[in-house]
Amino acid sequence: MTSRISDSTWKDILTHVRVHYPDLARGWFVRLSPEGLDSGVLSVNAVTHAQVGYLNDQCGRAFGEAAQAAIGRLISVQFETDAPPEEGLEPLSFEKPESYLQLIPDYMFSNFITGPCNRLAHAASVAVAKQLGTAYNPLFIHGEVGLGKTHLIQAICHEVREQKPDLNLMYLTCETFSNHFFEAVERGALHQFRYRYRHADLLIVDDVQFLADRDRSQEEFFHTFNTLFQSQRQIVLSADCSPGEIPSLEQRLISRFNSGLVACVDFPCLETRMAIIRTKAKLACIEMPEEVVLLIANRIQSNVREIEGALKRINLVSQERNDGRVNLAVAHEALGVSLPRAIVSVQEILNLVTKHYNVRLSDLQGKRRTKSIAFPRQVCMYLARELTSYSLEEIGGSFGGRDHTTVIHACKLIREKRTEDPEFDLHLEELTRTLVGVIHRPEERRPEGSTA
Ligand code: ADP
Ligand code: MG
């Protein structure tokens, strides 16, 4: 609600400034005019941009104090002008569309995987995109780096763009907001700045934790926030921590940020990570065997951006080494890691191989060298070498007391056969998947992943 102030109050304010700050007072102050009072902010109109620049730089405090004395409560004063932008000057950054964030096409709701870690943030974002200004206002999404905050808020942008292309949507980082603000102050263009920001239908500010140490832009943000909020414009904010944890954020902003819905994005559980990997692989047209999905999901647990980095590396190595085909070996090399060794036991390998090749356990562990026995035994040695952390000697010992050179020979043989015989390669991939799957099934059934 904007209210006018009386002529005599305005006169008192000017007099107060002249008496208490004679050095600051200027003759042209008589041509300043009070525009109105709105939520503790008195807007004062000046004639030129230069005057606004001077008032902002030098006189904010003097006028604030004078207004407080004349009106009797805490008032801050902002200066603006209706003068057209000055000729010959570079346009202000906040007037250029390219100074706002561009949307990444893939950051849509349809590519966002939900799990227990982000369900609330996702649902709230969807609701906000559907019912701007009324579902949850403001929506504040927080969480550690790389967990999908930017993805979610861009998904809101995409959705709104599509549904209501004419809306005035502003999406930027808080860094940009501050830079625009300081530029406006410097160029005496606060009026345009405020006009631009306070006419947003939807204001989305990413990474507001950077408001922390910028006093004057915090103040400005507070007023922008209030203006938009009071006219039911939607505000969406993200940060790497909750409002109360943002260092040196003023209490009044904390309580504003907390006044709508605060939703956290957490670390994704195994199942969610696997689903994210499948989605990202599909978007990048990478065919990704399940055991590689599982390998990545197990290796990288805390940051989805790192998962994407791993996918890129794996894709690159697969191009160089394997005609673009991704398998465990490629993934190993790309990630510079070995499989989660010693999780698979030799016994599990034996059980699986005896079943698949229809041989007896005693044969595999015995001395016979007939091909029908020797071959499955070599497969066992290879799998043990790939999937457990046993040494060559230990593996040799488990299969009829053979020495390490026999194991090396077996692994070499199987590896060669894999490269020569695609069908066999596939078969071994399946055996591996079964083995790796066996040990991970209990984790997949964790209740965390299954709650809807
Ligand atoms: P933040 O802003 O929280 O640091 P981002 O939104 O930039 O994180 O996410 C980092 C990357 O991880 C992005 O490429 C994003 O698409 C992806 N990502 C994060 N969470 C998910 C998810 N739940 N589903 C799909 N992709 C995700
Ligand atoms: Mg981000």
* DSSP E strand boundaries for 376-422: none
Sheet with 202-206, side-by-side order of all strands: 169-173, 202-206, 234-239, 139-142, 261-264
Longest dimension (CA), the chain: 111
Ligand with smallest separation from the Cα of 146: 1
The residues with which 45 forms a beta bridge, in sequence order, are 33, 80
- pLDDT of 446: 37
Cα 434 to chain centroid, rounded? 34
Ligand with smallest separation from the Cα of 115: 1
85-94, 167-176, 355-364: least confident range: 85-94
Instruction: Give distance in angstroms: CA of 73 to centre of ligand 2.
Output: 40
Instruction: Give distance in angstroms: CA of 225 to centre of ligand 1.
Output: 26
Instruction: Give distance in angstroms: CA of 307 to centre of ligand 1.
Output: 10
Alpha carbons 276 and 114: distance in angstroms, whole number: 9
Please name the residue ranges forming H helices in 27-137: 49-54, 60-71, 119-130
- pLDDT of 353: 94
The atom number, within ligand 1, closest to the CA of 118 reads 23
The set of protein residues with a Cβ atom below 6 angstroms from ligand 1 is: 107, 111-113, 118, 143, 145-151, 276, 279, 304-305, 308
Rounded to an integer, the average pLDDT of 171-199 is 90
According to DSSP, residue 389 is labeled: -
- pLDDT of 343: 60
| Cα 183 to Cα 95, 155, 208, 416, distances in angstroms | 12, 30, 19, 65
The atom number, within ligand 1, closest to the CA of 114 reads 23
Please name the residue ranges forming H helices in 131-250: 149-163, 174-186, 190-198, 215-230
Rounded to an integer, the average pLDDT of 229-251 is 93
Q: In 10 A of CB 243, how many CB atoms? A: 21
Ligand with smallest separation from the Cα of 107: 1
Rg of the chain over Cα atoms, rounded to whole angstroms, equals: 33
- pLDDT of 229: 95
Residue with the smallest CA separation from ligand 1 atom 19 is: 148
Rounded to an integer, the average pLDDT of 244-271 is 93
- pLDDT of 337: 63
Q: pLDDT tens across 112-159, in order? A: 999 999 999 999 999 999 999 999 999 999 999 999 999 999 999 999
Label residue 394 by pLDDT band (50, 70, 90). confident
Secondary structure of residue 169 in the 3-state scheme: strand
- pLDDT of 89: 66
Rounded to an integer, the average pLDDT of 401-407 is 88
Cβ atoms of 174 and 246 closer than 8 Å:
no
Residue with the smallest CA separation from ligand 1 atom 20 is: 148
Label residue 384 by pLDDT band (50, 70, 90). confident
Enumerate residues with CB within 5 Å of ligand 2 (an ion).
149-150
The residues with which 38 forms a beta bridge, in sequence order, are 2, 41
- pLDDT of 88: 62
**In the structure encoding, which two tokens stand for residue 243, read together?**
């409002």
Ligand with smallest separation from the Cα of 151: 1
Instruction: Give distance in angstroms: CA of 205 to centre of ligand 2.
Output: 10
Confidence (pTM): 0.62
Residue with the smallest CA separation from ligand 1 atom 11 is: 305
- pLDDT of 437: 61
Q: How many percent of the chain have pLDDT more than 70?
A: 94
Cα 3 to chain centroid, rounded? 41
Burial annotation 197-223 (CB, 10 A radius, 16+ → b, else e):
bbebbbbbbbbbbbbeebeebbbbbbb
Cβ atoms of 147 and 118 closer than 8 Å:
yes
Q: Is the dihedral angle over the CA atoms 416, 421, 427, 432 positive or is it negative?
A: positive
Q: Of residues 123 and 390, which shows the higher confidence score? A: 123
Instruction: Give distance in angstroms: CA of 247 to centre of ligand 1.
Output: 24
Rounded to an integer, the average pLDDT of 83-88 is 72
- pLDDT of 58: 85
Rounded to an integer, the average pLDDT of 278-296 is 92
Residue with the smallest CA separation from ligand 1 atom 23 is: 113
175-189, 257-271, 391-405: least confident range: 391-405
| Cα 315 to Cα 115, 151, 283, 307, 442, distances in angstroms | 26, 23, 13, 12, 29
Rounded to an integer, the average pLDDT of 99-105 is 86
Q: Of residues 47 and 391, which shows the higher confidence score? A: 47
Q: How many percent of the chain have pLDDT more than 90?
A: 55
Alpha carbons 229 and 241: distance in angstroms, whole number: 22
Average pLDDT, the chain: 88
Instruction: Give distance in angstroms: CA of 253 to centre of ligand 2.
Output: 21
**In the structure encoding, which two tokens stand for residue 349, read together?**
């390998």
Q: Which of 302, 398, 304, 295 is nearest to 348 (CA)?
A: 398
Rounded to an integer, the average pLDDT of 299-318 is 90
Rounded to an integer, the average pLDDT of 37-59 is 87
- pLDDT of 114: 97
Label residue 344 by pLDDT band (50, 70, 90). confident
Out of 104, 149, 151, mutate this one to test ligand 1's pocket (max ligand atoms within 8 Å of CB): namely 151
The atom number, within ligand 1, closest to the CA of 111 reads 25
Instruction: Give distance in angstroms: CA of 240 to centre of ligand 2.
Output: 8
The winner for highest mean pLDDT among 5-9, 51-55, 335-339, 439-443 is 5-9
Instruction: Give distance in angstroms: CA of 209 to centre of ligand 2.
Output: 11
